């Protein structure tokens, strides 16, 4: 049975691997010693908007890498040990919404932190000017987070309603 159809735990494990590769790339970018990347450590140390950058990075590490890995483990138990299969359409929508939502929300949060941090730390802009730089990111981050939450909800429903395959 496992050879006849793709199992969802493998797809969520692939999402975890993709997130790990993305996290490695982000880490590499943060430590690069030449411009514009060399501005990131002072932005992080400067606090304020730099905290958005750090928060986005940490959320991506936890939700992307660890989150998808944990979901893969839960789906592994559901699909292999319990022999139940979630609805394919619901799981596909959940995976897409969750992956895109988490990735976009964290990336936009990091971008807003980097832009705002550059504004205040490197350019010496006022707090009001920095807020104006970061304000356009608030709703897109919220929308991406909402997509991730919707994907997580679909995933929970899909896992809860998973059925054992019929023996017909």
143: left (phi over 0), alpha (psi -120 to 50) or beta: alpha
Q: pLDDT 10s per residue in the chain (168 long)?
A: 444 466 899 999 999 999 999 999 999 998 888 888 888 888 888 888 889 999 999 999 999 999 999 999 999 999 999 989 998 899 999 999 999 999 999 999 999 999 999 999 888 888 899 999 999 999 999 999 999 999 999 999 999 998 887 665
Cα distance between residue 29 and residue 147, in whole Å:
27
DSSP 123: S
Cα distance between residue 94 and residue 18, in whole Å:
16
Contact assessment for residue 87 and residue 126, using Cβ atoms and an 8 Å cutoff: no
């Amino acid at each position: 049975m496992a050879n006849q159809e793709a199992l969802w735990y493998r797809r969520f494990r692939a999402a975890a691997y993709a997130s790990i590769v993305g996290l490695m790339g982000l880490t590499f970018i943060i430590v690069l010693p030449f411009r514009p990347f060399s501005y990131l450590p002072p932005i992080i140390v400067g606090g304020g908007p730099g905290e958005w950058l750090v928060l986005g990075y940490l959320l991506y590490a936890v939700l992307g890498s660890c989150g998808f890995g944990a979901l893969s483990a839960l789906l592994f138990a559901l699909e292999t040990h319990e022999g139940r299969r979630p609805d394919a359409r619901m799981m596909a929508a959940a995976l897409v919404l969750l992956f895109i939502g988490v990735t976009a929300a964290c990336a936009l949060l990091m971008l807003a932190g980097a832009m705002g941090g550059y504004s205040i730390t490197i350019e010496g802009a006022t707090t009001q000017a920095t807020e104006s730089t970061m304000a356009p990111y608030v709703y897109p981050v919220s929308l991406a987070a909402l997509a991730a939450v919707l994907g997580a909800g679909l995933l929970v429903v899909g896992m809860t309603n998973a059925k054992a395959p019929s023996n017909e």
